[in-house]
Amino acid sequence: MKEIDGRGFRMESLGIYIHIPFCIRKCLYCDFLSFPKGRAQQALYFDALEKEILLSATGCGKYEVQSVFFGGGTPTAVMPEAIVRIMKALFDNFSFKDDAEITIECNPGTADLDALKAYRNAGINRLSIGLQSAKDDELKRLGRIHDREMFEECYRNAIKAGFENINVDLMSALPGQTLTDWEDNLKYVCTLDPAPCHISAYSLIIEEGTPFYELYGEDNENKDIAVSVNMQDGSEYCQNPRLPLPDEDTERQMYHRTEEILSSYGYRRYEISNYSAKGKECIHNLRYWQGGDYLGLGLGASSLMKNERYHNTSDFERYIETLNGDFSIGEAEGKDGAISLSAENQRLLDIREDVEPLDEKARMEEFMFLGLRLTAGVSANEFRSRFGKEIGEIYGGVIEGLREKNLLEWDGDTIRLSAEGLDVSNYCMAEFLL
Q: Average pLDDT of 205-220? A: 81
Positive or negative: CA dihedral 47, 49, 52, 53: negative
Q: Average pLDDT of 316-332? A: 74
- The domains of the chain, with CATH numbers, are 1-204+246-358 (3.80.30.20), 208-244 (no CATH), 360-430 (1.10.10.920)
Three-state DSSP class for residue 142? helix
Beta-carbon contacts of residue 400 (< 8 Å; ≥ 6 apart): none
227 burial level (CB within 10 Å; 0-12, 13-18, 19+): middle
How far, in Å, CA of 135 to CA of 181, rounded?
Answer: 8
- pLDDT tens per residue across span 244-302: 899 999 999 999 999 999 999 999 999 999 999 999 999 999 999 999 999 999 999 99
User: Using an 8 Å Cβ cutoff, are 207 and 29 in contact?
Assistant: yes
How far, in Å, CA of 63 to CA of 345, rounded?
Answer: 18
> So what's the pLDDT on residue 38?
85
How far, in Å, CA of 272 to CA of 372, rounded?
Answer: 9
Cα pseudo-dihedral 330, 332, 338, 341, rounded to 10: -150
Closest CA to 117 of 76, 86, 148: 76
> So what's the pLDDT on residue 345?
82
> So what's the pLDDT on residue 341?
55
Lowest mean pLDDT among 214-223, 251-260, 371-380, 407-416: 214-223
Closest CA to 144 of 158, 131, 157, 129: 131
Judged against a pLDDT cut of 50, whether residue 338 lies above it is answered with no
Beta-carbon contacts of residue 66 (< 8 Å; ≥ 6 apart): 9, 13, 14, 15, 97, 100, 101, 283, 287
> So what's the pLDDT on residue 30?
85
Name which residue leads in pLDDT, 31 or 100. Answer: 100
Q: Average pLDDT of 422-426? A: 94
> So what's the pLDDT on residue 15?
98
- pLDDT tens per residue across span 348-401: 999 999 999 999 999 999 999 999 999 999 999 999 999 999 999 999 999 999
At residue 22's C-alpha, the angle toward residues 19 and 28, to 5°, is 105
> So what's the pLDDT on residue 32?
81
How far, in Å, CA of 347 to CA of 55, rounded?
Answer: 9
How far, in Å, CA of 371 to CA of 245, rounded?
Answer: 31
Three-state DSSP class for residue 264? helix
Judged against a pLDDT cut of 60, whether residue 329 lies above it is answered with no
Lowest mean pLDDT among 133-142, 162-171, 239-248, 255-264: 239-248
Query: In this structure, what are the phi and psi dihedrals at residue 59, rounded to the nearest 5 degrees?
Result: -100, 10
- pLDDT tens per residue across span 173-184: 999 999 999 999
Lowest mean pLDDT among 1-15, 71-85, 362-376: 1-15
E strands present in 125-211: 126-132, 165-172, 198-203
User: Using an 8 Å Cβ cutoff, are 111 and 74 in contact?
Assistant: no
For every residue of 213-249, DSSP letters joined together read HHHHSGGGTT--S-EEEE-TTS-EEEESSPPPPPPHH
Q: What is the mean pLDDT of the chain?
A: 90
Three-state DSSP class for residue 383? helix
Judged against a pLDDT cut of 50, whether residue 6 lies above it is answered with no
Three-state DSSP class for residue 275? strand
Lowest mean pLDDT among 81-90, 331-340, 408-417: 331-340
Query: In this structure, what are the phi and psi dihedrals at residue 62, rounded to the nearest 5 degrees?
Result: -85, -5
Lowest mean pLDDT among 31-45, 73-87, 360-374: 31-45
> So what's the pLDDT on residue 243?
87
How far, in Å, CA of 411 to CA of 420, rounded?
Answer: 16
Strand pairing category for 274-276 and 198-203: antiparallel
E strands present in 254-388: 268-271, 274-276, 294-297, 302-305, 308-312, 352-357, 378-379
35 bridge partner residues: 22
Q: pLDDT class for 336, splitting at 50, 70, 90?
A: very low
User: Using an 8 Å Cβ cutoff, are 407 and 418 in contact?
Assistant: yes
How far, in Å, CA of 366 to CA of 356, rounded?
Answer: 14
Q: Percentage of the chain surpassing pLDDT 70? A: 88
> So what's the pLDDT on residue 217?
79
> So what's the pLDDT on residue 227?
54
> So what's the pLDDT on residue 292?
94
Q: Average pLDDT of 90-102? A: 97
How far, in Å, CA of 68 to CA of 298, rounded?
Answer: 13
Q: Average pLDDT of 237-243? A: 68
> So what's the pLDDT on residue 7?
41
Query: In this structure, what are the phi and psi dihedrals at residue 345, rounded to the nearest 5 degrees?
Result: -70, -20
Query: In this structure, what are the phi and psi dihedrals at residue 264, rounded to the nearest 5 degrees?
Result: -65, -20
